[in-house]
Structure 1
Amino acid sequence: MACSGGADSLALAAAAAWHHRRTTGPLADARVGAVVVDHHLHPDSVEVSGRAVRQLKDLGLGPVRIYPAHVDPESPHGPEAAARTGRYQAFRKAMGELGASRILLAHTRDDQAEQVLLGLARGSGTRSLAGIPASRGPFHRPLLQLSRGETEAICQYEGLDWWSDPANADPKYLRSRIRTEVMPLLQERLGESIRDALARTAQIAAADAEYLEAEAKEIFPTLLEDPDETGTLRLKLNPLRALAPAIRRRIIALAVVAAGGANPSFERLSAAETLVTGSRSAGPIQMEGEVSLHRGARGSTEYGKLVVVAPPLA
């Protein structure tokens, strides 16, 4: 499991240790350890990490290791995204070195509600409104039904000393403003149940998004011609045009990623969709990751196809 030294992750550690002590059968020999990621963004980070390690060991977890996270100060995506990238790189390194099969993360219902508001603020669509997934790959989040107050109560019961990160109240971070300014205002005006309502919205949106993505993945191969030696992909235009927009956009995104690009933003995806739905321009439209799209020219072998050009080989 991952631990920051905060109330949420220490509560998760206490719960993991409690369940592990009571585990019988084939899983009784499994190890439950912890990874403390130090971003080195706070002057007391070494002390905070050390205190977390001592408490994790006292709970009976092992192995317990500290891993540094590299945070790129020049990241174009901002400090929060850079810290997240560094954190997940540290997680994957820890999994490889320690032989872990999964990592538990301590996101709560409060985090989920804040994530839905972030998605609304960014206009990022159903997947963003779906919030934080309960599980994805090796990462699992068993506390999404608990509130932040409940994790603090668990720590108090267990006698754990948690750390409150001052960055969580720093207004220069969007998530912090949502936590300390927007959410309290919504609770005041709309009632205490707003957090539960937002978390429930995430649960509903997640189910919808998963269905749409599964449909898109099933249809995608039926529209796809075999890529050539350059990795360029070609999708049949007419059947792509006939699909519902929600499926069509997801298939275009799948093609961009399959060609070696990054998952496209809504703006670029919308521009790409115009090539399918009848724009006078045939492109090209540039996507993230040096992938470009264009509509095949009349009279060419690519006519009637959406062409997704892979990045040039190094």
Structure 2
Amino acid sequence: MTGPSREVAAVRLAVRRAIEASGRARRGVLVACSGGGDSLALAGAARFVSSRLGVACGLVTIDHRLQEGSAERARGIDGWARSEGFSPVLNVAVDVGRSGGPEAAAREARYDALCKAAHDCGGATVLLGHTLDDQAETVLLALARGGGPRGLAGMPATREIDGITFLRPLLGLTRAEVRAAGVQMGLKPWEDPHNTDPAYTRARVRAALPVLIDVLGPGVVANLARTAALVADDTAALDELAERALSVARVPDGLSTDVLATQPAAIRTRVLRLFAAEVGANALSQCHLVALDALVTDWHGQGAVGLPGGVLVGRTGGLLAPAVR
């Protein structure tokens, strides 16, 4: 009796390691499945692995309602999952807004729905099907947009959102490997036309990646992903130092600008981002950070800085604090 192919074994092993390394995943996993080749292969492997580990394995598909026939496709995934023994099986339709553009709005709606679904399942851990190629594309997008280290760090293998753990077990495997595994498992994926629609930025990056491979060689995908991993390690260390610096800079009602001024820029700007989040301002742009930093390092009496959420932060003497409009 022959065993699974190399690709099937690799996907199953990646899923097994991710579940075993996460204490929360032992309470149950929920596979986010669009019906595409990557997430379908993940679902097939997760169902196999979870049954052997004694872990409950459900599946959720999110219908963004952005394409004709999306509800029918979601029902098809729903039916397949039930026939394969996934439990629970959830089919969630969402309303996609417009904030931040179509891709960002769809992503926000999707993660909100996944968090709710996981909470409804008792805090299940969500498995996502992103691959090594997706990671390389994310790094290229960050470079093109002038993203800082946080963007270049790419997608984390483990992330917590609203108390729910998200795992990406397949980040170490190429898209070709994962999809080959799906074919060998007898799965029939649906190809999302948005993945090749040039109206979407990621689709354009995906189309450009083969050109980079031709010019720079086949190792470019793995090298971009390796860059993300290295930057992620550095970012985590800097974030930890910033947490410490924030506690040192705290004074009643705000932060000491004298203490902040002694910090390197990489630490200081992280402290400012953390402080802004504390006072209700998230999603800061680089322009916001530059203006906040100028209150510390180049203050000549300028007024308060307006931040997202209608928050104002200003300086009075040696104190950086929320300002009143």
When the two structures are superposed, what TM-score results if normalisation uses the length of structure 2? Answer: 0.86
Question: What residue number does 2:78 align with?
Answer: 53
Task: Give the distance between the partners of 1:257 and 1:309, measured in 2 at CA.
Answer: 15
Secondary structure at the aligned position of 1:22 is classed as: helix
- Give runs of aligned pairs for residues 1-314 of structure 1, distance below 5 A: 1-23=31-53, 28=54, 30-72=55-97, 74-75=98-99, 77-137=100-160, 138-180=165-207, 182-227=208-253, 234-296=254-316, 303-309=317-323
Q: Distance in 1 between matches of 2:135 and 2:84?
A: 27
Q: Tell me, yes or no, if the aligned pair for 1:236 and 1:304 is still in contact at 8 Å.
A: yes
Contact 1:256-1:263 at 8 Å conserved across structures? no
Q: Would you say the 8 A contact 1:108–1:146 is kept in 2? A: yes
Deviation at 1:78, TM superposition (A): 0.1
SS, match of residue 60 in structure 2: strand
Q: Which has the larger displacement, 33-42 or 92-101?
A: 92-101
CA contact (8 A) 1:259 1:309 kept: no
Contact 2:57 2:88 in 1 (8 A): yes
2: CA distance, partners of 1:268 / 1:278: 15
How many angstroms apart in 1 are the aligned matches of 2:270 and 2:283? Answer: 10
| 1:59 positional shift | 3.0
Determine the C-alpha separation between the residues in 2 that align with 1:309 and 1:212. 28
Deviations 1:237-281 (A, max 9, x none): 111001010000000000000001113111210111111112324
For residues 131 and 251 of structure 1, the distance between their equivalents in structure 2, rounded to whole angstroms, comes to: 21
The structural deviation recorded for 1:51 is 2.0
Q: Distance in 1 between matches of 2:180 and 2:88?
A: 26
Contact 2:269/2:289 (8 A) holds in 1: yes
State whether residues 55 and 160 of structure 1, in contact with CA within 8 Å, keep that contact through their aligned partners in structure 2. no
CA contact (8 A) 2:248 2:259 kept: no
Q: Helix, strand or coil: the match of 1:161?
A: coil
SS of the residue 2:91 aligns to: strand
Unaligned runs of 5+ in 2: 1-30
C-alpha offsets along residues 3-46 of structure 1, whole Å, 9 cap, x if unaligned?
101111111111111111211xxxx2x41101110001111212
Specify the code of the residue in structure 2 equivalent to 1:188. Answer: D
Instruction: For residue 188 of structure 1, report the CA deviation from its aligned partner.
Output: 1.4
How large is the RMSD of aligned CA atoms in angstroms?
1.4
C-alpha contact 2:249 2:259 (8 A) present in aligned 1: yes
Post-superposition shift, 1:93?
1.5
Where structure 1 has 5 or more consecutive residues not aligned to the other structure, the ranges are: 228-233, 297-302
